[in-house]
Amino acid sequence: MEGIKSGEKTRVLVVGATGYLGKRIVRACLAEGHETYVLQRPEIGLDIEKVQLLFSFKKLGARLVEASFSDHQSLVSAVKLVDVVVSAMSGVHFRSHNILVQLKLVEAIKEAGNVKRFLPSEFGMDPPRMGHALPPGRDTFDQKMEVRHAIEAAGIPYSYVVGACFAAYFAGNLSQMETLLPPKKKANIYGDGNVKVVFADEDDIAKYTAKTLDDPRTVNKTVYIRPQDNVLTQNELVKIWEKLTGNELEKTNIAAKVFLANIEHMEIPHQAGIGHFYHIFYEGCLTDHEVGEDEEASSLYPDVKYNRMDDYLRMFL
C-alpha cells in the first residue's frame, strides 16, 4: 500500500470517539492538522452527553460519519473516506468491554483496501508480554492479541501504541484502589514500593497517538509511551505528593500474597483490577524490558512537552 504523500493532510477516522481516550484523540488529531472524521453510530440513541460531544467535535472542524457495527457496508463506506483508522474502543471491565467488536472494523478495512494504517485500541500494558496474566483481567490481553492477529493476517499496516498507566486512574490517587483522589492520611504501598511504573497524562497519550499515525517510522511497529521523567516507583510518586503538601502519609506495605488473598471472592471487574495492579506494581510489567529510542514516543516526538507528575499532582492541591 502506498504511504501518505508529504504535504497532504492525513485523513483519519476515530472510532470510539466519545469515549474516555477517544475524545482526547479526536482533539489531538484536529490540533495536529489531520482531516478528522468521527464515527457516529445510530446506537447512540438518547445518550445526550455523547450526542453533544459529537457536535462539539463538529464545531472544532471534525466531520461526522454515520456507520454501525451491525451494518458491514456502512463501515466499509466510512473507512473508504480516510487513510488511517484509530480505534479507542473501551477494554476495561468496569466500563464497557468492546475489544472484539474491532474484528468487524478489521473486516471493513480489509474489504475497503485503501487504509494505510490502523491503530487498534491498545494504550496500556503490552499484550504479547501478558500471556501469563491472571484471569479474568487476562481477557483484555487475549482479546487484544486476537485483534492483532486479525490485522496482521489481513496484511493491514498498523501501529500499536502501548506502555503507560493513565494518570487519572493511577497517579492522582497515588495508585490507591477504589478512589481517584489523593489519600489524606494513609497510603497503601504495594510490596516495597520500589518497582518502576510508567505514568502518562491521557492528553499526552492522545498527542503521541496523533503524531504516530502518519509517521513512516512507526508503521508496523509498537510505540511505547515511556516519558523518562514519568518512570517512577510508587514510593517516588508518594514522595512528590508529600513534598507538594508538606504532609507525610502513614504508609502500609502490602505483601503480594496479602494483595491477592481473596481475589476469587470478588466481583469480576474488581478481580480484573487487582490482577492488573499486581502485574504493574509487583511484577513491573511496564518497565521490565528495554525500549529503543526509535520506538519510544517521547524520544520520537521531543516537541511534545509532556506533563510531568509533579505538575500533574498540583491540580489536587
Residues 209, 25: Cα–Cα separation, whole Å: 7
Is the four-CA dihedral 136, 105, 82, 128 of positive or negative sign?
positive
Best CA proximity match to 41, nearest among 10, 22, 64: 64
Asked about 59 being catalytic, the answer comes back as no
Q: Closest Cα partner for 245 from 164, 179, 185, 305? A: 185
Cα-to-chain-centroid distance, residue 90? 9
Name 150's bridge partners: none
How many alpha carbons lie under 13 Å from residue 168 in its C-beta half-sphere?
7
Of the candidates 23, 144, 207, 211, the residue annotated as catalytic is 144
Residue written as grid cell 483490577: 273
DSSP assignment, residue 49? H
DSSP 111-159: HH---SEEE-S--SS-GGG-TTPPTTTHHHHHHHHHHHHHHHHTT--BE
% helix, strand, coil for the chain, step of 5: 40, 15, 40
CA 221 to chain centre: 16
Residues involved in catalysis: 144
